[in-house]
Amino acid sequence: MENQHQPLVRVSDITKKFGGFTALSNVSLDIAPGERVGLIGPNGSGKSTLVNCISGMLEIDGGDILLNNTNISQLAPHARVHAGIARSFQIPRPFKSMSVLENIKVVLTFSGNQRLDSNDLRSTQERAIAMVESVGLAPKMHAISASLTQVELRKLELARAMSANPKLLIADEALAGLSGAEVDEVLVLIMNMKSKGVSVLLIEHIMSAVMQFSERLVVLVAGNKIADGNPQDVINNPEVIRAYLGE
């Protein structure tokens, strides 16, 4: 029986070095099933490095990364996608010459299908259409991806990540470069992932968005986790204010 207190993801004491530079020092982080976790920190504090270590783009120099109690530290990035970790908003980019719908079908065909509900009898085409509709891109279904606006591309990237049927979605700089109204639109889509049971790790600079999104807030400074907890408590934490918010 599944223990409801067991984390989906357990990052345990990981260290990452680039040559003589330590980008992450003994960082630990649990993410519960369905939990929305915000990750903040100054530029260069190690946020993307942490994401790269979780998604397998970088090998860690110490510690372990567990997914549902299974050690995935040695798995290649594509194997981690299959295991349930999807990262959006940085890589992979959509195929620019393909339509929105075709881009989704590619992901549905090549990733995540292991965990698809066997009661789901819809064709790939039908599932792709539903996915496109769920991010509000129905009017652009047959448009070539290269013709999309910035916010439409973000929605497509989100739909592509969700098409891999993830248990954890990692959104690094998900809202960067969007206007205020667009930030709200994409944020709502990301927040709705929770209703699908997906955990989300959001890395974002816009504090109002982070505070609206996060059930828990984690702060990295110079490769060290300095706070992890209730978002309101975390942003009132004197060490966080000194190290980051008050800078």
- Rg of the chain's alpha carbons, rounded to an integer? 18
Q: Which stretch binds Mg ion (CB under 5 A): 45-53, 57-65, 177-185, 236-244?
A: 45-53
Q: How far is the CB of 18 from ligand ADP (least distance, A)?
A: 3
Of 117 and 247, CB closest to Mg ion: 247
Please state, in angstroms and rounded to a whole number, the distance separating the CA atoms of residues 190 and 192: 5
- Give, as one character, the DSSP assignment of residue 75: -
Q: How many CB atoms lie within 10 A of CB 142?
A: 10
Residue 49 touches which of Mg ion, ligand ADP, none (CB < 5 to 8 A by kind)? ligand ADP
Which CB sits closer to Mg ion, 47 or 216? 47
Residue 242 CB, nearest approach to ligand ADP (Å): 18
Please report, as ranges, the residues that interact with ligand ADP according to CB under 6 A.
Answer: 18, 23, 41, 43-49
CB atoms near residue 124 (< 10 Å)? 14
Under the binding rule (CB under 5 A), the answer on residue 90 touching Mg ion is: no
Residue 149 Cβ vs Mg ion, minimum distance, rounded to whole Å: 23
Instruction: By CB under 5 A, tell whether 48 contacts Mg ion.
Output: yes
Residue 66: count of CB within 10 angstroms of its CB: 17
Tell me the closest approach of the beta carbon of residue 41 to Mg ion, in angstroms. 9
- Beta strand spans in the chain (E): 9-18, 21-31, 36-40, 62-67, 70-71, 85-88, 168-172, 199-203, 216-221, 224-229
Min dist. Cβ of residue 38 to Mg ion (A): 14
Cα 91 to Cα 110: distance, rounded to the nearest angstrom = 16
Partner from ligand ADP, Mg ion, none contacting 163, C-beta within 5 to 8 A by type: none
Among ligand ADP, Mg ion, none, what binds residue 46 when CB lies within 5 to 8 Å by partner kind? Answer: ligand ADP
Shortest Å distance, C-beta 129 to ligand ADP: 35
Side-chain half-sphere exposure of 175, counting CA atoms within 13 A: 24
- Note whether 23 and 46 are within 8 A (CB): yes
- CB of 83 or CB of 202, closer to Mg ion: 202
Residue number with CB closer to ligand ADP (44 or 197): 44
Q: Which C-beta is closer to Mg ion: that of 190 or that of 220?
A: 220
Tokens of 178: 């969007």
> Longest Cα pair distance anywhere in the chain, in angstroms?
54
Please enumerate in sequence order all residues whose Cβ is within 8 A of that of 213, keeping only pairs 6 or more positions apart, or say none.
36, 38, 187, 190, 191, 200, 202, 204
Query: From the CB of 5, what's the least distance to ligand ADP, in Å?
Result: 30
Would you say 23 or 137 has its CB closer to ligand ADP? 23
Nearer to Mg ion by Cβ, of 3 and 43: the residue is: 43
Residues engaged in binding Mg ion (CB under 5 A) = 47-48
